[in-house]
Amino acid sequence: MTAVSGQDRTLGNRAASATLWGGVNMALGRIVQFATTIIVARMIAPEHFGALAVAIVVQTIATNMAELGATAALARGTGDPDKIAPTVFSIALVTSGVMTAAAIALAPALATAFDDPAATPVIQVLSLTILLQGAGAVPSTMVWREFLQKPRVVVDLCSLVTVLVLVVPMALDGWGAMALAWSRVGGQLVALAGYWIITPKRYAPGFDRTVAAEILRLGMPLAMANLVVFVTLNVDYLLIGRMLDPTALGLYLLAFNLAGLPSSVITAIIRATAVPTFGRLFAEGTLGAVAGRFVAGTSYCAFPISAMVIALSHPLIVVAYGDAWAPAGIALATLGVFGATRILVEVFADLCVGAGRTVWLFWLQVAWLVSLTPALIVGIQWWGIAGAGIAHAAVACLVVIPLYVVALKSVLAVGAWELVRGSLVPLAAAIIAGSTAWLASVSVTEPLMALLLGGFLGGAVYVALTYRRGRLLVQTLRGLLRERTSLPAGGHTDTGES
């Protein structure tokens, strides 16, 4: 380890500790969320999940635009929160209120656009969460900025448990998709109260025109980029809903969520600390030197999970959700490839935000959407819901990741090889491990046994192939926690060895 300043040591220790607690948060949260989905999937028909998918599309588009990216200026950790937070709060409240009202008023037209008129009341109910998220934007961002992931575990877990407690009796009572919508509103209310309790400092709304201009200069491109990303990740729902039917959309939604589970967990853990850490490292001029290490560590954790999802897609779907959902297995297999690439894309995006290059980020997302839309149309026409997964994977691998690498070369002044070389060994090991899992499970007729056998053998092969790399990763993390040291300002710990 190279010598670092006292401030660096504090940053390294806080970031490592928050990342661990972020991992605990995600693990507990996903367990509860996964259990909830399993329970509800056995009570609610696939077409009801299709209605929820439509409502989530509308809700998330509005949420991404609701605070105009203003919280990014607060989250980066390089400005005075006392100066920034009141203006951010005002922007978030006003825009989230406008977006909520618009979503409620336009719900019938939006549901018709998705060819699912039954989704209208679901959209209207779920739109209430937009306003609740706006009211909690500053407290939740302050928790993020200050690496307060330990108390956040309690808040997020209480929110998820609230959803579970509400959705089960509603589903049993025949509420259908409305059970899913109202339970999410209840969970968001609990989260709002929790973040106001644990935030390190509370702010009232205020407004400073000069501050607002600077906030929006950084935030608006990010908000537009987030919107484009969401459209990119949900245009498949729109096309499947229009080109196929609500049942196919429900099957695809379940497969997409399961395939995206590794990426959502890992990127959520990373984002617990990524933007504040990257922002501070960029300000110190050290982000480019360590960016490759972040990418390599993420790849090591992400690739084997996605490989197991691909290899064991059919038994995984059947064991988790029952035989009625078995047709979703083929989509899960193709979407698993996209799940792995999406993790890298998310890390690259956080590096752009940490470096303050949100305009670059916006244009990268536009290129992604422009490339993906025709690929999805062709894929769905030829192969149905499986074709959507093929299109996602092809565009991410052939277009999006190369564009990000080219952009980050300029932003961080680092070579493309330095960014991606640490991912190659985990990728190769994951392919071998996934192949082993598939070969071990393909002849086993009992889904649970196939899942257990394939998962065990595939995992063992991956650990054996990457033992030295995994040991180095653990040692680095322990060093950050015990020695209170940060990532070194120079050098690259990846040796290319496994």
pLDDT tens track, the chain, 498 positions: 333 333 444 555 665 566 666 666 666 666 666 666 666 666 666 666 666 666 776 776 666 666 556 676 676 656 678 888 888 888 888 888 888 898 899 888 878 876 778 788 888 998 898 889 888 888 888 887 777 777 888 888 898 889 888 888 888 887 877 888 898 899 889 999 999 998 888 888 888 888 888 777 777 777 777 778 777 877 898 899 889 887 888 889 888 888 877 777 777 777 667 777 787 788 878 888 888 888 888 889 889 988 999 999 999 999 888 888 888 888 898 898 888 888 888 888 888 887 877 777 888 889 999 999 999 999 999 999 999 999 999 999 999 999 999 988 888 888 888 888 888 999 999 999 999 999 999 989 899 999 999 999 999 999 999 998 888 877 766 665 554 444 443 333 333 333
Cα gap 347→270, rounded to integer Å? 8
pLDDT of residue 13: 61
Amino acid type, 126: L
Helix, strand, coil distribution of the chain in percent, nearest 5:
85, 0, 15
Other C-beta atoms closer than 10 Å to the C-beta of 109 total: 9
397: Cβ contacts below 8 Å, ≥ 6 apart: 337, 341
456: Cβ contacts below 8 Å, ≥ 6 apart: none
Q: Residue 275 is encoded by which pair of tokens?
A: 């933007």
Of 107, 400, 373, the C-alpha closest to 236 is: 373
Handedness of CA 94, 95, 100, 105 (dihedral sign): positive
pLDDT of residue 50: 64
Of 203, 193, 252, the C-alpha closest to 86 is: 203
pLDDT of residue 456: 95
Q: Residue 266 is encoded by which pair of tokens?
A: 């890992």
Q: Residue 2 is inside which H or E element, if any?
A: none
CB 92 within 8 A of CB 71: yes
pLDDT of residue 60: 67
CB 88 within 8 A of CB 74: yes
CB 312 within 8 A of CB 437: yes
pLDDT of residue 16: 58
Cα gap 248→256, rounded to integer Å? 12
